[in-house]
Amino acid sequence: MNSERPRSLPRRALSAIGRGLTFVRNTFLNVLALSVVVGLLAVLFAGGPKVEKGSALVLVPKGNIVEQLAAKSPSDLVEDFAGGGTEETLLKDLVDALAAAKADERISSVYLDLDEMGGAGMTVLEDVAAALADFRSSGKKVVVAGDLFDMRRYYLAAQGDELLLHPQGMVLIEGFGRYRSYYKDAIDRLGVTWNVFRVGEYKSAVEPYLRDDMSPEAKEADLEWMGDLWRAYLAAVAKARKTTPEALTALVDQLPERLKASGGDPAKLALDAKLVDRLATRDEVRKRMIELAGEDSKSKSFRQVALGDYLEALGNDRPGAKGKGDAVAVVVAKGEIVDGTAGPGRVGGDSTAKLIRQARQDEKVKAIVLRVDSPGGSAFASEVIRRELELAREAKKPVVVSMGSVAASGGYWISTSSDEIWASPETITGSIGIFGMFPTIEKPLAKYLGVHVDGVGTTPWAGLRIDRELPPRAGEAIQAMIDQGYEAFLERVGKARKMTRDQVDKIARGRVWSGADAKGIGLVDHLGGLGKAIESAAAKAKLGKTYRVTYVEKEKSLKEKLLSSLSVRATRLAAAFGYTLAPAAETADGPGAALLGAVAAEVDQLSVWNDPRGVYAHCLCEVR
């Protein structure tokens, strides 16, 4: 019997093999990870795009054209890459690109494709139209092509030298409208008690919770300012297309008859009515652009440069970016006004005040322009911003307000501490009023769930809860605060506009005005866009003609800068391989989806209201 122990060589060999495999695996993973990092860095820091001589600048506004982009998190960027995000186009990017391209010998023309454009306020459309007109003054052509032009797209399309419509396309000038959902019947059925406190019969922001229809006062006011916008729209489009507002009005009024006369063909109707210059398929559009810009040998399409690539190629050569010395600082107040800090797309009381303070404390900044595009929101946050502007004026720095598409309610509140207010004739402004809301759900809890609330308190104010009826005395106290807030609003407007309390009250009461009417009643000083406001601020600061314009914005963190840069590079890299990182088309459709969307938007709006006293200066005055 052999009692020898087995040799241990196989075990050692097996162990050595295992260590070798682990080494190979780790080496492979490390090399793979290093390759990914190197690849990302190569994409991130690759050389910028080149602009060939004779290229057409291609402008394809995606989503809404806005004065300030909404903040995006890393997850938002991932969603964009996956095709489920929402896009926006920055107004300043379009205006800057057109201004630079006007004198750029490398740019022969502009190709404007509006099929992916969403909405835009009237003042935004005016600014883009003015930039297109300024570009055309150089003698270079603007060619516009598209499949469907709604009224906002058509406002810009009309500015082109050549307007081409697909033979299966259409132009739809539908007019302005303001329709909302009203919830009183639903609230009553559910048994919710919606306690509303307000001042002003025109303060219609709270009407959906009090009525099942629009009040006569709201209809009167809305039709007046929408009529001003409609007349301005018709005048601008008629001038661009060398027709008359009356001809356009007749076309809209007689649409069924005119469509029948065109054999039910909306593209033929647009051509017959001279809304477009000719009908052209995609290949015909491409052929026309090759005639203007030449052919690219690789793509077999026309020589072109996209908006993002062109701006990146410009780098710091953007109009006004090279200026030195004294500056006019522009602070953008875009979106709902909320208490505390907010990212781009909303107006945070503290964060916006911080930007104004930064401009005030900058010795090179000699004047401040506040660009307001806001329906208002928190009264407390509005006052924080207004006070910071007041401090800037006390520091002998002129403050000029430039009103965008909407500068109403809280948007007007923050405008009161200024040396001058500029508005477009189509600006929606005014709505000087205050409201507060406190819903309680004690009735549906008791009826449907059998839940009751009871208890004791040492004062009538103890135990204010959403599941308990609002004590009458508490309601009286809240209304007193609302009344005081309204009086404070009147006082600030009266002091700013040199009016008595009663004079302001007569044009306040929550009523909305167009910019043209607001000038007539003394709520604004001048009619004009942001450029005019900047010029006025520079003149007030005695800066002459050599000043520069600087936008004061929250500085991006390193992570935000890297994400933004990576997003741009990844988009270009995907395009090089024939992919498009664009939002997927929405699948929800029909009246049910529209209703749910409207309710969701209302809930989303309510969810960001965070005034510490629950007092709001807000104008729900958007148009569709």
Helix (H) or strand (E) holding 391: helix 379-394
DSSP 523: S
Residue type, 429: T
Q: Which of 409, 415, 424, 567 is catalytic?
A: 409
Q: Is 52 helix (H, G, I), strand (E, B) or coil?
A: coil
Q: Compute φ and ψ for 332, nearest 5 degrees.
A: -95, 125
Reduced 3-state DSSP string for 308-367: HHHHHHHHHHCCCCCCCCCEEEEEEEECCEECCCCCCCCEEHHHHHHHHHHHHHCCCEEE
Beta-sheet pairing, 193-199 with 548-551: unpaired
How many whole angstroms separate alpha carbon 164 and alpha carbon 245? 22
Q: Is the separation of the CB atoms in 573 and 43 below 8 Å?
A: yes
Q: Which of 102, 140, 203, 397 is catalytic?
A: 203
203 assigned to active site? yes
How many whole angstroms separate alpha carbon 414 and alpha carbon 449? 45
| 86 φψ region: left (φ > 0), alpha (ψ -120 to 50), beta (else) | beta
Reduced 3-state DSSP string for 392-450: HHHCCCCEEEEEEEEEECHHHHCCCCCCEEEECCCCEEECCCEEEEEEECHHHHHHHHC
Q: Is 17 helix (H, G, I), strand (E, B) or coil?
A: helix
Give just the sign of the alpha carbon dihedral 345, 122, 551, 564: positive
Q: List the one residue out of 10, 23, 180 whose CA is nearest residue 594.
A: 180
How many whole angstroms separate alpha carbon 618 and alpha carbon 412? 10
How many whole angstroms separate alpha carbon 497 and alpha carbon 477? 30
556 assigned to active site? no
Active-site amino acid positions: 203, 409
